[in-house]
Every structure is written in structure tokens, then in C-alpha cells.
Amino acid sequence: YVRTRTKLFYKQQKFNLLREENEGYNKLITELANPSHTPETMLDHLLKLIGRFDLDPNRVLDLVLETWQNYLDKSPFFLALVKLFPKQDDALCNMLGFNFGFYINDPEGTPRSLFAVSALLIRKGLIDLQELYTHLGPSYDAMKQSYNKRLNDARDTAKSLTTVALNKDEEDEEKAKDKQPEPPAENQKVNLCIALIELGCWAEADDLIQLLPPFSVPDNTKGREVLFDLVSWRVHEFYKKHISAAIIVRPVKQIKNDPQVTSWEEFASLVLTPLLRLGPYLAHSPVLFTKILRLFNVYVKEHSADLINDTIAGQIMTITSDVILPSLSLLNYNYNFTALIWEYLQQFPYHIRYRLYAKWKNVSYHKNPLLIVTKAQTIHSSRYILKRLTKENVKPFGRQIGRVSHCNPSVIFDQILFQIQRYDNMILPIVNALKYLGLLSLDVLSYCIVEALSDPDKAKMKEEDTNISWWFQVLATFCGHIYKKYNIELAGLLQYIVNQLKANKSTDLLILKEVVQRMSGIEISEEVTESQLEAVCGGPVLLAEAGFFSPIRHAERSNHRLQEALREIWLPLCILASQQRHSIVFGNEERHIKLTARLYDQCQDTFSQLGQFLTSNPSINQSLKLLPSFEELSTMYHLQADSAFFLLRTKLSDQIKTVGKDATPDNPQPYIDATDKIISQLSDQVKLLYPAKMWDKISPRLFATFWSLSAADIILPSKRYTAEIERIEGLIKQVNDNEELAQRRKDKETERHKEMIAKLKEEHKHQEDNHKLVLTRLEAEKDMWFASSSSSKVDAIMQFLQVCIIQRSMFTASDAIYCAKFVELCHKMQATNFSTLIYFDRIFSDVSHIVTNCTDNEASRYGRFLCETLKGISRWHKEKALYEKECGKSPGFVHIIRGDPSGEGEKRIEKYLDYENFRHVCCKWHFKLTKAMVFCFDSKDYSQIRNGLTVLNKILPEFPVVLNLAQALEKRIVKVKDEEKTARPDLYALAMGYSAQLNSRRHTFIAEDKFHHVEKKATPTSTDSRNSSPARKDKRTEVKRREDIESEKKRRREEDAKKEGERKSAEKKLKADTSPKTKANGVRERDSETDESRSKIRKK
């Protein structure tokens, strides 16, 4: 048993080398070097030599393999010979592995022939690649360590390029010492992979590539050349088939035993995988890079119908993300490559493109050492350019920016955005310098802007402040300028805004406001002039020419691009922007009241700006027909009446004009019938959405009519049309008188101005006809607006103010004018049961409560509404004849005289308000308005004071007029200035501005007795009239108040004289009494008596 185990486990299974004869090896080498026999015969000879000379069979096999390496041209013979050798487990693989291990440390490296033989054996299945892999060097850990070292070295290099070194010389010397490169060790795994590819064994080579660290093969010069040859060979015939015959196609190196592409399916399976293995190293072959891009363009154009669901298109996007774009970063600055990439990328939607840019910018630049260094070099170049860019050298440095952006756009755009966030005065120079960018670079810029706006590490609101962050304001302004000047797709930015609004982040509406303002020329401002307001009440042509600070025609191209961008997304934007108003006020987020008001105003301005843009463009105007009904907007989308009708107004007008298209000013009946049909349907919807008791006071038809009309329907700005035509005629004269202009230019400008005049005249005529039709319609339905005698006029007026006038007067500046004009029409047309007198009285009775709840812009609009209202009252106040003509016999100026509180039965008498009583009432309204403003100033509340000053600024042309009321206001203004100078400087500035304007109008103030007739004592003719007239009652109260003041002054003088006498007697007594205690008691008694008298006076 022991001998058996010893023989089995310890006896060496080797030939005794001393028994081998060298002559046998000589004969063996001679036979192998001159193979003149068949493989079978050769094997027989080899076996005989082994037996005759006692040769080691393993050494014989090793000699066969070594001889094969020296005679690769006879590979078929040696391959057949090796196949005939007796099979042994892993003998052949171990033999090759021993050879590879021998050469791993050889300075001359492993012979290429050994890799070729191994590759051929792998291809024929004689050895297993996985088993041979374990014998190859270096190890995976060593390769991974080498790769990480290269990454760290690249990061160090990048850091040195992007930082300023103060001890530059010493640092350079240290790096030079450290960077003594060691000779790179041979990588047998990569070389074997190269041999496999050259032999046409791509499947085995790909398996081996996946076992190596990233980019091990293309990082080798020979490795990437072999991959280039492989891809070039596979696409060669396919490329010639799909490319124009005018393009010269050079011959490529043939890869034996490797298939060529004949269809797009084979292209995806045979070409895309080798491209993935190449990665960014495809940049080393610009010719192959160009071929791949051209083939991508061909496929995308042929299958553009459904690219999103196309499998091959998805693979193309993967190649673009992992290969094409990273390779572009390593290419020399060449616009042709970016043009080819954009040619097929533009066919894909923006979200797919943005996904590619995100990976390119945030992933690719960190995975490869070459890209890390390239990014650092680009940052260094970008900073050099931006430091020297000014408005004077935009052209040369703009070209440099364009050159750098062709290959590394995201890197330089990051630097540009960082620069403008710090220096806002760089916006215009940078915008002008970007004119040399390619289309791909502009698209990447759009992505970079969206990414910068959505940066979660930056707060859009200043900490512990009520203002928007400076960086966000600057980026919003930059968006407006860049999207206006260059043809950049807006879909990505608009979708970002929609997503932010869905998340109740209303701050981002600032971006939409800037973009719409710059691209369309429509600017929403509270500081509009009277002429601009008149233009708003006209048609689109007048509005475009005179409604804004800069003519809209200067933004025609950008206007058209904005229309196209909004065509699919305008409805969600409008609804979300309107909903944000409610979310800002009643949302869960806690904000300062000042910030809440500012965000609300921004939201309202953006919504009205967007709506005005939509209604002023015919292409989108047609899309407004797709708007949901008022019922759906109110119930499903929870829009308030002002927002819903703001969107529906154009749709309703078009419906009425379509149904009543045959109507003319001479034949208005079709228009009236159409209006009755449309408004009746709308009234039925309105009636169901509000409480039933509301319609006991006003009719649903009044509500629908009031909200469906616009300022252009009831106001005809004929003077503004005439003034604009005269202005353009003056321009024609200036052009003709300008001798410096060429005649051709003169003719062109003259023709353009004449066309504009013709458009204005045509629009004026159209507006005039529409105005007449609307007035005829209102005249026909005025008797159905206000409720009958079942409810009081006061309740009807209050309901009308609550749901119509007050709400709409704060929506826009033009709506404020509309509200005043609509009431003026109600008075002029003598609407049934409408009391103008009660309306004015209610308006001026509740000013302080309304002003308190306004935002800054709402206060401005409400002030404009009050000014327009006061303007009409002032006209009647100044001219008695005009008052008698328009109001003297008007039902709106009827007041009730009643002897008992019920006002029923025979004691109820109606009388028209005469002129003098009207003047008394006007004085009362001015007094109420003054009292409301004083109440706001005395409240110490920030919003009330600011809104009060805002309202006073807007009504300054019409109020104050009475001198004593102006003086009362002036005293409160002085008090506000003194109190807020250091506490709240913004209120102080507003108060200073209003005070200056008030002083400039001091010469227009009149005494109260000139404003209305003032009597020393009221002498009413009867108790009924004394009780019934509001003016006389107010006058009686004023007279009584003055009498009380005079009597109080007289009593105080008597008391002062009495106290003076008592003081003198006390002084005499003090002189006689030298006791300190007595003196002190006397002083205390006198002070207490004085304090008691003062307190009594204050109480009275």
C-alpha cells in the first residue's frame, strides 16, 4: 500500500533528460523548418523521433509552436499539425502561458508572432480565452492602479491649469522631478486583443476588452488603429452606397474573415459596439468620425417619422452620448464636425438632446484623463478671453469664443454664465460676442441656462430679505437678450417654467416675463403715459406703433419664433400663471407681506403680458378658439372671473363677429342677435357658479356683458389715431428732406410709412364701426342689467362694485380705464335702476378699506381708476351748463326725500340733484377721500402708507383741489417723512416724491368757498329736505363743528386768564411763605390743576 501511494503521488512523471539525445532535436527542427509532408506524415515522423531519441513530448510541442511563430505564412500546416497532437488537459494553454510568462519581464517584449499564434488557436477553439487570460500580464489590479494614477495625474494637471500658483518656479521644478516617467510595462492582454481583431475574431476580442479597465485598448496606439481599420472595413461598402457619388471614398485596409455591413440592422450590430469600445478616441481618426456622422444623418432623415420609438435611433443616441460628443471635445476646433452632429441631432426632441448634453458635461469630462486635461485647458482659455472682453473688442474676442465653443461648448458657457452672474454689465458685450456660435453651441447654451436656473445649491430669494436674488435676476435678463437675438429653441426653457409653476415656484415667472418682453416688445409697466393708454384702447396696429416704449416691429423675427414656441404650451402656461396668484397668497409657504405682494404683482404682470401677446398675434389668436368654456375654467381649473374672461374675451368677440358677420352700423340687428345668443349662453353658465341671492341685485347678463367687453369696444381713441398718422406723415417729410439718404432708401422708407398710414386708417374705420355696434348692443340690453324695485339701489350698486368694478379695476391699467368708462356709459345711456349718485358715494366711502388690501401695482391701477372717475366728476363740477345737460335730468342723479325712515308710501319723494347740491356732494367726496388717506398714514402700517402714497400719486391731476384738504394731506406727508426717514427709506422716498409734486401744484388749489357755496348757518326750508339732502347734512355738520371749535377756543382763553390770575396770587403767597414744604405743595397743586384742565380740553 505504501509503495503504491508513493508511486502514485510522489513519482515524477517526467522523462529523464539525461536520456534525451540532442541529435533528436536537430532532426526535429530540420523536419519542422522544411515541412514537405502532410500534417499526418509529419506527426508520424515526430512520434518516431520522440521514441527513437527519448524526447520530451512537451518540449516537442513547444518547439512546434516556436517554429510556427517563425513561419506564420505556414499557419494552416502547423494548425493542422497541432490539432493531430494527442489531447491533454490544458497542456497547450499552459504551454502558451509559460511562454507569455517568460516574456513578461523581457525588455524586448513579447514577440508579436506569439500573439498571432495564440489568436489563431483561440479562433479555432484549441485553447480557451478565459484560461489563457490568467497567464497574461499585467494583472487587473495593476492595470486598474495604472489607470487611476493617470486619472490623478490628469486631475493634478487640470488643477495647476485652473489655479494661480504664487511659487510657480519651485512648483514646476518639483513636478519635473516627480515626473520622471518609468518605461511602461508591456500589456500582453491588450496585444492579444489586437491580434484577435486583426485576425477577424471580434467576438473574442470584445470579450477580452470587457475584462480590462476602461479604454485600455484604444489608449494603445496600435489598438485604436486596429479598431479604426475594423470599423472602416465594415462600413466601407455601405458608406459608398448611401453617400453622394461626388464624395471621394478612399480604399481601406481589408480585415480577413470579418463581415461587412449590408443593412441598417447589420450596421447597428456590427459597427456600434466597436464604436462604443473606441469611446472618445474616435477623435484620432477624423475621416472615420466624418463617415459615421454622415451615416447617422442618412438614417435619421430616412426614419424621421418615429425616432423616439426606433431601436436603432436609440442606439445612435447612445453612440452620440458616449462616443461622438466626447470625441468632439478632443478634436481640433472645426465647425464642420459640429454642423454634421447638429444635422441629425436637431431631428430629436429637446429633452433627448438635453440628456445627451447633461452626460457630456457632467460625466464624460470626469471619466477620461484626456478629457479632464482638455476641460482644464478650455477653462483656462475661456477665462483669458472673458477677462479681456469689452464692448469695444467684441468682434476679435467673439471669434475666439466661437472657436472654443465648437468643441467644448458646455465648458466655456459655464464660465460665461458665472461671469455675468457676478458682473451684470457684461450681459450685452457677451450677447454680442456670441454671434459666432454654431447651431449646436447655441443649443448647448440653452441647456446650460436651464441647468444654471435650476441649480439647487443657489437660493432664488435673498436670505432674510424680500427681494429676488441678484444672480437670478441677471440670468433672467440674459435669457431675454439671448433668446431674442439668436435662433435658439425655446421649448426647453418654457417646459422648465411650466414644471416650476406646477411645483408652486412662482419666482421663475420672472424668466417668462423677461423673455416675452424682449422677444415681443410687449412691456407691462405701471408708469405708462396717457397716450399709451389710449393706444391700448385701439386696435393691434395702433397698439404696436404707440402702445409701448419701443415699437414692436423691431422684434418681428423674435416675435414669430416666440409664437411658434408657444403654439403647443401657451394654454398650460396661462392657466398655471393664473393659478399662481391664489397659491402665492394662500399657499403653505410663509412669506413676508412685502414679498408676497411683490410676487403677486409679478405673477399678475406676467399673466397679462402673456395674454396680451397671445391676443395680438393672429397665428396664436386662432388657437384661442380651443379654450375651454368659462364653466370649465372656473370649476375644473379654478380660475377667477377676471383671469377666465381675460382669456375668453377674444374668443367671445370672434364668436359674436362670426355669427353676426352681416351686421353694419346701419344694420346692427344681426350683431345684436348674435350677442344675445352668445351672452345668453354665457349668462346661463355664470348663473350656476355664483350664489342665487347675488342675482337678486344684478342680472347675470350684466355680469357677462361687463366681463366680456374690452376697453377697445367702448372707447374709440380717434385723437390717438389722428396724432399717430400725423407723426408718421412728419417722418415721411423728414425722410424726403434728408439729402444724405439715397433715393432708393427714401422710396423704401416712404412706402413703408404710407403702408402704415393706410393700415391705421383702415383699423380706425373698423374700430369705429365696432364701437357703434357695441354701443347699439348696450343700448338694447341696458334695461336688463340691474334688478327691479324688489331690491334697493344701494344693494345693487354694492353688488356691482364688489363683483365687477373693484375686481376688474385692479387687473390692468386699461381695465381701470374701462371700468370708469363703463360706468360713464351706464349713466349716459340712463340704465334702468342705476343710480350714478349712489355709485359715486359708495366709491369714495370705502377707499381706505380697498387700499389696505392692495398690492403696489393694484394700488396704482385703483388710483388710475379713481383719477378717471374724478376726472368725469370734475367736468360736471366746473361747468354748470355741462352738468345741467348731462346730469340735471338724469335718473342717475335722482335723490330721495322721505319724512320717515321707511321711505314708503306717499311721503317718499324723488328729486333731481341740482348743481349747487352736486357741488356740496363733491366737497363731501373729496373730504372722504382725504379722510381715507389720513387714516392710511396714521395707521403706521407699511402697506397702507405705501398704497396711500401710490393712490395719491395717480390721482394728483384731479385731487386735492380744495386748499384746506391739501394742507391736511401735506401735514400728514411731513409726518410720514419725519418718521420714516431712517426706519423705512422706501416710504420716505415715496413721500418726498409726492410732496414735491404736491408743492408744484399748489397754485391750482382753491379755497373751499370757491369749490362750493359755504353758508355760515344752514337754513333748510323744511325738515324733510334737511333730512334728505346729503350735501346739506354734511354742511350742517361742518358748521356745527366750526362753532364747537370757536367756543372751545373762547373757553380755553377764559380758563387761561383765570389760571394766570391764580398763578400770580400764588406767587405773591409764595414770597410771603418761606417754607420749602409749602412752596412745593403750591407747585404741585398748580401743576395738577393745569393737567386737569388740559385733559378736559383733550377729551372735548
Rounded average pLDDT over 295-324: 93
Nearest to 497 by CA among 508, 489, 513: 508
Q: What is the DSSP letter of 909?
A: E
What is the Cα–Cα distance from 887 to 489, expressed in whole angstroms? 58
User: What does the mean pLDDT of the chain come to?
Assistant: 85
| pLDDT at residue 1091 greater than cutoff 90 | no
pLDDT band at 475 (very low <50, low <70, confident <90, very high): very high
Looking at per-residue pLDDT, the higher value among 34 and 375 belongs to 375
Give me the residue label for grid cell 354701443: 775
- Return the number of other C-beta atoms located less than 10 Å from residue 745's C-beta: 12
| pLDDT at residue 1084 greater than cutoff 70 | no
Determine what percent of the chain is predicted with pLDDT higher than 70.
86
What is the Cα–Cα distance from 281 to 291, expressed in whole angstroms? 15
In this predicted structure, what is the pLDDT of residue 450? Answer: 96
In this predicted structure, what is the pLDDT of residue 245? Answer: 67
Q: Strands 894-898 and 908-912, how do they pair?
A: antiparallel
Nearest to 459 by CA among 442, 472, 440: 472
pLDDT single digits (tens) 512-538: 999 999 998 888 887 788 888 888 888
Rounded average pLDDT over 10-19: 57
The answer to whether residues 291 and 239 touch, using CB atoms and an 8 Å cutoff, is: yes
- Dihedral sign computed on CA atoms, order 188, 193, 199, 204: positive
In this predicted structure, what is the pLDDT of residue 183? Answer: 45
Encode 811-865 in three state secondary structure: CCHHHHHHHHHHHHHHHHCCCCCCCHHHHHHHHHHCHHHHHHCCCHHHHHHHHHH
What is the Cα–Cα distance from 331 to 327, expressed in whole angstroms? 6
**What is the CA angle 825-829-835, rounded to 5?**
80
Residue 908 φ/ψ, nearest 5 degrees: -90, 120
| pLDDT at residue 934 greater than cutoff 60 | yes
pLDDT single digits (tens) 624-659: 778 889 999 999 999 999 999 999 998 899 889 888
| pLDDT at residue 789 greater than cutoff 60 | no
* Alpha carbon distances (Å) from 1065 to 868, 1075, 1091: 64, 17, 19
176-180, 500-504, 620-624: lowest mean pLDDT where?
A: 176-180
Give me the residue label for grid cell 387700499: 851
In this predicted structure, what is the pLDDT of residue 1043? Answer: 64
563 Cβ contact partners less than 8 Å away, ≥ 6 residues apart: 617, 619, 620
In this predicted structure, what is the pLDDT of residue 586? Answer: 86
171-180, 465-474, 1035-1044: lowest mean pLDDT where?
A: 171-180
Return the amino acid letter for 606: T
**What is the CA angle 24-25-31, rounded to 5?**
95
Q: Where are the alpha helices (DSSP H) in 91-201?
A: 91-103, 112-123, 129-133, 140-162, 168-178, 188-198
pLDDT single digits (tens) 341-393: 999 999 999 999 999 999 999 999 998 999 999 999 999 999 999 999 999 99
Report CA 498 to chain centroid distance, whole Å.
9
How many residues are given for the chain? Answer: 1100
Q: First-to-last CA distance in the chain?
A: 136
pLDDT band at 8 (very low <50, low <70, confident <90, very high): low
Q: Is 1024 exposed, middle or buried (0-12, 13-18, 19+ CB in 10 A)?
A: middle
Instruction: Return the percent helix, strand and coil in the chain, to nearest 5.
Output: 75, 0, 25
What is the Cα–Cα distance from 927 to 1034, expressed in whole angstroms? 10
The answer to whether residues 241 and 247 touch, using CB atoms and an 8 Å cutoff, is: no
pLDDT single digits (tens) 143-152: 999 999 999 9
pLDDT single digits (tens) 751-782: 999 999 999 999 999 999 999 999 999 999 99
How would DSSP label each residue in 466-526?
A: SSB-HHHHHHHHHHHHHHHHS----HHHHHHHHHHHHTT-GGGHHHHHHHHHHHH-----S
pLDDT band at 790 (very low <50, low <70, confident <90, very high): very low
pLDDT single digits (tens) 49-73: 888 888 888 888 889 999 999 999 8
What is the Cα–Cα distance from 807 to 527, expressed in whole angstroms? 21
Rounded average pLDDT over 415-419: 95
| pLDDT at residue 869 greater than cutoff 90 | yes
Rounded average pLDDT over 315-340: 93
pLDDT single digits (tens) 391-416: 999 999 999 999 999 999 999 999 99
| pLDDT at residue 170 greater than cutoff 60 | no
In this predicted structure, what is the pLDDT of residue 545? Answer: 83
CA dihedral 742→743→747→752, nearest 10 degrees, is 10
pLDDT single digits (tens) 904-915: 444 556 788 899
Strand partners, 736: none
In this predicted structure, what is the pLDDT of residue 907? Answer: 52
